[in-house]
Amino acid sequence: MLSLNIASNAQSILSKVGSAAAAYGLDVNSLTSGILGKLTPALSLTPAQKPTVTSIVKDFLVQKATVLATQKTNPTAAQTKIGKLVSGLKSNLGTILTVAQLSKFTALKPAAPSATNVLSQLFY
């Protein structure tokens, strides 16, 4: 009974995050796939690295969607939180990527946010 209750609550939280993501045009699964499609060849990700990088990116996007849901009510706090998320993303990637790969990742940052560059989601 307890596990059903926990599963139900987890599903409720996930649906709220999914709603927040959809409200801001973030399709987390699609974005994750697009981002990995760019990162895999650019960073020469190994088969062992790919699942962990995918998980890190997906978690980042889910957290970002949650923060974006608060942007209208408190834009300054939302931007600060997004900055912290980006910093945390780089830190998390640093645990799985080599120094050279992390350097290449940083070099992939677009000069400005761009709707046409899926990697913008990771930096802005």
Is the whole model's pTM more than 0.85, yes or no?
no
Q: What is the pLDDT of residue 26?
A: 78
Can you spell out the DSSP letters for 77-105?
HHHHHHHHHHHHHHHHHHTTS-HHHHHHH
Among 59, 32, 37, 49, which Cα is nearest to 100's? 49
Q: What is the pLDDT of residue 47?
A: 97
pLDDT digits (tens, 9 = 90+) for 87-101: 999 999 999 999 999
Q: Decide if 23 contacts 69 (C-beta within 8 A).
A: yes
State yes or no: pLDDT of 64 exceeds 60. yes
Rounded Cα distance between 58 and 40, Å, is 15
Residues above pLDDT 90, as percent of the chain: 74
pLDDT digits (tens, 9 = 90+) for 53-62: 999 999 999 9
38 burial level (CB within 10 Å; 0-12, 13-18, 19+): middle
Q: Decide if 34 contacts 118 (C-beta within 8 A).
A: yes
pLDDT digits (tens, 9 = 90+) for 13-35: 444 444 444 445 679 999 999 99
Apex CA 104: angle with CA 101 and CA 107, to 5°? 155
Looking at every residue in the chain, the average pLDDT score rounds to 85
pLDDT digits (tens, 9 = 90+) for 35-46: 999 999 999 999
